[in-house]
Amino acid sequence: MKNTKAHEESSCSVDLIKEKITNQENEEISRNDLPSDESSSQNDLLGKDSLSPSGFESFGFSKELLKTIEGKGYKEPSPIQKAAIPELMLGRDLVGQAQTGTGKTAAFALPLLERLKKENHNPQVLVLTPTRELAMQVAESFRAYGAGHSHFKVLAVYGGADFRSQINALKRGVDVIVGTPGRVMDHMRQKTLNTSGLSCLVLDEADEMLRMGFIDDVEWILSQLPTERQLVLFSATMPSEIRRLSKRYLNDPAEITIKSKAQDARLIKQRFIIIKNSYKLEALKRVLEAINDEGVIIFVRTKVITLTVAETLEASGYEVAVLNGDIPQNQRERTIERLRKGSINILVATDVAARGLDVERIGLVVNYDMPFDSEAYVHRIGRTGRAGRNGEAVLFVNPRERHFLGTLERTVGQPIEQMDIPNNASINENRINKLQKRLLEEAKKEREHDEETTLLKKLIKQAGEELNINPEQVALAAISLAIGSNPLLVKEDENWLKQCSQNHRREDRSSSRRRNDRNSNPPENNMERFRVGVGHRDRVKPGNLVGAIANETGLKGKMIGRIQIFDSYSLIDLPKGMPENIFQDLKRLKVMNRELQINRYK
Ligand code: AMP
């Protein structure tokens, strides 16, 4: 998908890296109610696995739809499709926890298309999405899946697009509307969208809508719909507000959870460092020093980089092995065995060479280069945290790649936190901790050979007497021997670290308006972030917002923090602890002729 227009509100899904469902084994289904015995036995008669009918025929789809699906090249329904389609074909409400890339669009679009009533000329299905990109994408999927259905019409409605042409299209008649909440509400208020025939509402990426402050809007839309309707809710994560929403509005829904590798990835502590390519090698050495770990895999993009990285680390005294496409299979196996046994600690690998690698003692994965797509990211970080162990992953992101972070976060369903390149102090702290641990472990051990112990004790005594030094001084000498020739503490010049982070802060600011607001800096400590329902489309300027809010609340203009204006809304940082009555007044306050509808932004 291409970003055709620089448009702030939309940037979060513009960068979606398309994920194909190629590995369905990665996913497990759990469902509160499985198919009845009757349907199972029927499937058995057909010679099919009772829980996972193969192909799409078993759903009872029309010939036209089956042909379209075949034309798309889909051979097997994905796990979410297997679980959701039979329920939706029956008209049941459904709540599904699934990420992008699981085939969830087809999971609802295919059965809803099949259930459309031909004689109805008003919209029958409404899909709400958090962003206009997703709206366009879902509408496109409907269009493609509905290619064999005669006269089928789908329309995407979202802010920033021409209102008039949307009204005209609505007048001509559409079956399915896919839209962002703001614009859908506008059409409902203006009565340009007739909701009387709506029989199904889908909330796609409900958690994203919550994060973007759309939940009140969604509830308003829900309150306007016919009471007899099917409700379908998909969400990558299930925060309590989404659970509340589904409890409140859904009627005995089928519950489906697609547990993907991406979700397992949540057990892994994931962080990123913004860094220019030219500083990566230095930063890598610092990360390895600061994150105390036994087994490490460093992922890079090309064979050449595997060698550069390995050579640099070897020069710094690390034992490193390389895994790339040039390494013959038998050597590859030997390398993995050495890593498993701990005779090497660090592996530098390309994605393809490390496919399927399963070594329990990997505690850290460094994504030295950005993965090609989010599937590769999930695979890479899945090399750690194995067999229930804790794992950590660090991702190097050069400033131009920053916009991919949102996609990765959406895939793994959790934020990836920013970290600084470790400075001397944190490296030294780690070195001391490591030394202490080694010392304590050694001191606790009982020496197996009494003879050796007697000899060593004699040695200590002799050294003390000969040099006239106390046992502490002898212990210090012994520890120095153990440390080796390198100094215990690093004192390297670290000015470049400061320069690095300053540069990135500057780049952050200049690019923040192009990026999704979720990725921007959080509000300062004493401030809280609010979302208001006016944006560029209302031609609002920061001054309008400051003026109106200052007037209403009595706050001095300078106490109003950062303001970010997007197409249909804006984010404003205000001092924490706003009294409830002022909050309520602000909700009704009009700026540029539109109610602020202020909400806390989570
Ligand atoms: P979604 O999770 O809806 O964003 O879908 C992700 C991708 O998977 C889209 O490119 C779909 O075209 C594709 N897809 C959906 N269902 C199937 C299937 N059963 N087999 C193969 N690809 C599919």
Task: Kindly report, residue by residue over 141-156, the tens digit of the pLDDT.
Answer: 999 999 999 889 999 9
Distance 251 CA to ligand 1 centre (A): 28
Provide the pLDDT confidence category of residue 517 given band limits of 50, 70 and 90. Answer: very low
* pLDDT higher at 160 or 244: 244
Question: Do residues 221 and 181 lie in contact, with contact meaning Cβ atoms separated by under 8 Å?
Answer: yes
Specify the pLDDT at position 454.
87
The full DSSP string for 493-506 is --HHHHHHHHHHHH
Distance 20 CA to ligand 1 centre (A): 6
The full DSSP string for 155-175 is EEE-TTS-HHHHHHHHHH--S
> pLDDT tens, 228-278?
999 999 988 787 888 899 999 999 999 998 866 555 666 789 999 999 999
Provide the pLDDT confidence category of residue 160 given band limits of 50, 70 and 90. Answer: confident
pLDDT greater than 90 at residue 9 = no
> pLDDT tens, 115-146?
999 888 899 999 999 888 789 989 999 999 99
pLDDT greater than 90 at residue 280 = yes
**Closest residue by CA, ligand 1 atom 15:** 103
**Closest residue by CA, ligand 1 atom 5:** 103
- Report the topology of domain 521-600: Alpha-Beta Plaits (3.30.70)
The residue-averaged pLDDT of 165-183 equals: 95
Q: Domain 4-260: give its CATH code.
A: 3.40.50.300
Instruction: Label residue 539 left, alpha or beta by phi (over 0 means left) and psi (-120 to 50 means alpha).
Output: left
> pLDDT tens, 214-226?
888 999 999 999 9
Tokens at 217, concatenated: 């809007």
Mean pLDDT value across the chain? 81
Tell me the β-bridge partners of 346. Answer: 296, 320
Distance 258 CA to ligand 1 centre (A): 14
Q: Could you give the CA distance from residue 109 to residue 145 in angstroms, rounded to a whole number?
A: 8
- Report the topology of domain 265-423: Rossmann fold (3.40.50)
Distance 81 CA to ligand 1 centre (A): 10
> pLDDT tens, 439-487?
898 888 776 777 888 888 898 889 888 988 888 888 899 888 888 877 8
Q: Could you give the CA distance from residue 262 to residue 272 in angstroms, rounded to a whole number?
A: 17
Q: Do domains 265-423 and 521-600 have the same CATH topology?
A: no
Question: Residue 295's CB: how many other CB atoms inside 10 A?
Answer: 22
- Cα–Cα distance list, 504 to 273, 422, 425 (Å): 10, 16, 21
pLDDT greater than 80 at residue 337 = yes
**Closest residue by CA, ligand 1 atom 14:** 103
DSSP code of 371? -
**Closest residue by CA, ligand 1 atom 11:** 103
Distance 138 CA to ligand 1 centre (A): 11
Domains of the chain: which residue ranges? 4-260, 265-423, 427-483, 521-600
> pLDDT tens, 390-436?
789 999 999 888 888 878 887 787 778 889 999 999 899 988 988 99
**Whole-model pTM?**
0.50
Q: Which atom from ligand 1 is nearest to the alpha carbon of 105? A: 3
Which residues have CB under 6 Å of ligand 1? 18-21, 74, 76-78, 81, 100-106
Question: Do residues 276 and 500 lie in contact, with contact meaning Cβ atoms separated by under 8 Å?
Answer: yes
